Amino acid sequence: MFLKRIELFSLFGFRVSLDLSWVFLAVLVTWTLATGYFPDALPDQTTATYYWMGVAGAIGLFVSIILHEFAHALVARRYDLAISGITLFIFGGVAEMTEEPKSPIAEFMMAIAGPVLSFALAAAFYLFEASTHTAMELPQFSAVLSYLALINFVLAVFNLLPAFPLDGGRIFRSIAWWWTGSLARATRISSWLGRLFAGAFIALGLLNLIAGNTIGGIWLMLIGFFVYNAAGSSRMQMAAATLLKGVPLSRVMRSNPASVPADISIEALVEDYFYKLNHRFFPVLGDGDLKGCIRLDQARDIDRSQWRATRVSDVMTPLSEANILDVGYDARAALEKMMTGSGSHYMVTSNGRLVGVVTPKDIMAYLAIHLELEADAVDGLSRARGST
């Protein structure tokens, strides 16, 4: 989801980060406020004044979104849900849960906390503007406060749409979970509803483009595509949490993988392994022990004139916690480690001995097949685990 995150600060034990895509949003919001919203709301000001008002409005929106996400995070902590941090990105912000809620009430309370906080901020900004409008005689300040009251109200209402994974979609999922007794089934229903709303956003965006509202149309379409993809990935995450838990890593790994000796040349590696076996990755053995691994790109980066003189051991990636998984892992834990790591291939070991290799693609292929064939089984597993 995120491009590159910059950690800003920590508060109440939560890390707050800024995705680089937020910079685009901040610039767009400032420009839109300075050239459109504030000139209409408060005519006859200088261009510099409008841009300072735009910057103030963008900062106020920034703080409002952080507070909205903190409301989610603090309620999640109340229900023992782990939140790894809060990240602001182009479509707003997200409190990053590392696990699914444990009960429908936990899901409901966490989801509704954000919109409630946004409604409270809208009321606070409105009352503050009303109380200072005549006393301070600063129409620019009042206009910014009015904007922040409006944008928090819009933020709350928009998030209450039942388009999973928006807050309203999570509220809907909590109700469906309570009704059906199955988190998996509730996720499937709410994901379908989320994609329906996503289609409506995209269609509305196209209509705006046809009508000449280019910026509004593009934003609606981008939001639609974001909701559509997020709804699908949320369903996949739910299926992964349910279907992969307890599945031995040996079920999804490729057993008895081909390996290469550490002392052969890169030329021999390319001719006898990459070309003949059509693999892009090989474990490396030396004196019968696992020493590391080598990838196609590592060989490619060596000047061809040096292939005969360079040994595999000279350029391989040494064995480390970053590229091995113990066979005792289950598939869910293995996938979680892969998602937080930087590698695409992992060697599976048992008591230090190579027994297989696995990639996220291997696990996702297993998941896709079982998701298609065992939807009812997912519901049953989710219901059973929810009652324990």
Nearest to 223 by CA among 171, 169, 158: 158
Residues 6+ apart with CB under 8 A from 235: 187, 188, 191
Give the residue numbers marked as catalytic: 69
CA–CA gap between residue 225 and residue 201 (Å, rounded): 8
Percent of the chain, pLDDT > 70?
86
Task: Determine the pLDDT at residue 388.
Answer: 40
CATH no. of 249-367? 3.10.580.10
Least confident residue range of 47-61, 104-118, 186-200, 339-353: 339-353
Question: pLDDT by residue (tens digit) across 300-323?
Answer: 999 999 999 999 999 999 988 888
Instruction: Tell me the C-alpha distance between 347 and 319, whole Å.
Output: 9
Q: Is the pLDDT of residue 266 over 80?
A: yes
pLDDT at 268 over 90: yes
Please give the helix or strand (H or E) that residue 183 lies within, else none.
helix 183-211
Q: How confident is the model at residue 116 (pLDDT cuts 50, 70, 90)?
A: very high
Give, for 366, the enclosing helix (H) or strand (E).
helix 360-373
**pLDDT for residue 15 is more than 90:** no
pLDDT at position 378: 47
**Of 41-45, 54-58, 83-87, 181-185, the least confident:** 83-87
- What pTM was computed for the model? 0.68
pLDDT tens digits, 20-64: 777 777 888 898 889 888 998 888 889 999 999 999 999 999 889
- Domain map (residue ranges) of the chain: 5-160, 180-243, 249-367
CA distances from 89 to 26, 57, 65 (A): 10, 17, 10
CB-based contacts of 177, cutoff 8 Å, min separation 6: 104, 107, 183, 186, 386
Distance CA 171, CA 166 (A): 9
For the stretch 205-263, pLDDT in tens is 899 888 888 777 887 888 888 788 777 766 666 666 667 778 888 888 999 899 999 99
pLDDT greater than 60 at residue 168:
yes
Tally Cβ neighbours within 10 Å of residue 207: 12
Q: Amino acid identity, residue 227?
A: V
CA atoms within 13 A on the CB side of 178: 10
Cβ contacts of 167 within 8 Å, gap of 6 or more: 72, 111, 112, 114, 115, 159, 160
